[in-house]
Structure 1
Amino acid sequence: MTSPLIEQLQTRHGYPLLDADSYDHFVYGAENVVLFFCNDPVQFPESLDVAVILPELVKAFSGRLQAAIIAQPIERELQARFRFTGWPSLVFLRNGEYLGAITGIKDWLEYRQETLRILAATPGEPPGFDLDKVCGAR
């Protein structure tokens, strides 16, 4: 399921929708990328908020980020690779290597600060899953 706001990321802002065939070419063809994992915006309505914030975030980092939307058929596979536990998520890569992720909706200042921190990071492995978050703390 998609929405006009998410479609607008493609039509108005020119962000590609990455599938299994286009993913590698995009992430290894750009220095810094931000991947938007929105899942189903009906089930995860915060995805619509991030769809509004993402172009502003890209603009704020004036040419330092290239954005793309991840197609739903490959989201779960990539979620397991990048080990984030919530939707929506923005995953940042440098030359295809993991830098960090922002999950859920944040305020504007948090997005800017987290993106600055992430872009200053050295690429590495995604963090391990926090089983309390995945399974629910008891």
Structure 2
Amino acid sequence: MDHPLITRLITEFGYPNLVTPEDVAAFTGAPGDHVVFVPGDVRRNLETPDVAVILPELRQAFQGRFDCAVAGDAVEEAVREAAKVFKTPSLIFYREGQVIGGIPKVRDWTEYVERIGQILALPVAAE
């Protein structure tokens, strides 16, 4: 995960760095809507820095409707598996500890806004 734009999300924006399954459960299970940024291998995936720049702008565009965190290397695979979103970088959306959607790879702004609006409008599935 070593990339200055990903580090900036944690240090400048204060996004939690989720490094254990317990971190993921605590963050995604808190009240409200949440996004976990799954960066993937930044050395192989040239889109990762782009999504790291776009995410704070998306949060602002949605007026803080969701909070954000970064999946650390140790939990990335488990987060992708649980969400069934295997491509990276990806944004995985949660509510009440449940995955409500995911957006893999970098998208254009209009598509992000449309898809995030659709995801946030979804109800949580009854268990």
Which category describes the TM-score, using the shorter chain as reference length? Answer: over 0.9
Task: Please report the TM-score for the alignment, with normalisation by the length of structure 2.
Answer: 0.93
Instruction: Flag as ranges the 4+ runs of structure 1 deviating above 6 A.
Output: none
Report the CA distance between 1:13 and its aligned residue: 0.7
What stretches of structure 2 of length at least 5 have no aligned partner? Answer: none
Q: Is the contact made by 1:5 and 1:48 (CA closer than 8 Å) also made in structure 2?
A: yes
- Cα offset for 1:30? 3.4
Deviation of residue 90 (structure 1)? Answer: 0.3
Larger CA Rg, structure 1 vs 2: 1
Aligned length: 125
RMSD between aligned residues: 1.3
Matched, 1:19 2:23: no
Q: What is aligned with 1:128?
A: none
Amino acid paired to 1:87: T
After TM superposition, the structure 1 stretch with the greater mean CA deviation from structure 2, 36-45 or 18-27, is 18-27
The alignment partner of 2:86 has SS state of coil
- Identity across the alignment (%): 36
Aligned residue type for 1:60:
A
Mind listing any 5+ residue stretches in structure 1 that lack a counterpart?
Answer: 126-138
Q: Deviations over 1:117-137 (max 9, x none)?
A: 000012249xxxxxxxxxxxx
Q: Which has the higher contact order (CA 8 A, sep 6+)?
A: 2
